[in-house]
Amino acid sequence: MAKTTTILQFKVLIERDEDGFYVASVPELPGCYTQAKTLEKLRPRVREVIELVLDADKDVRNDKLKSPASVPSFFATEDVAIPYYA
């Protein structure tokens, strides 16, 4: 029996922490996050941690296979400047 390939898509949030590390998280996968010093090192780690979460949690994997497109739960980020007078 031939295997079929399903392309799963995820939205990944990337932030830079106070130590200069890039921190990535995948909101639709519980506990799915990783970090690296550079974006070049972060990208393969993100793919690896997504695969690990999908392998470890069959319920999450099965739910994602039912709806392989990325979940549009994240809309945008915005910087807000507020004058503060002390």
**Domain residue ranges of the chain, discontinuous segments joined by +:** 24-66
Looking at per-residue confidence, does 5 or 56 come out higher?
A: 56
pLDDT at 2 over 90: no
pTM check: above 0.85: no
pLDDT digits (tens, 9 = 90+) for 12-67: 999 999 999 999 999 889 999 999 999 999 999 999 999 999 999 999 999 999 98
Q: Residue 61 — φ and ψ, nearest 5°?
A: -60, -45
Greatest distance between any 2 Cα atoms in the chain:
71
Burial of 34 (0-12, 13-18, 19+ CB in 10 A): buried
pLDDT of residue 75: 66
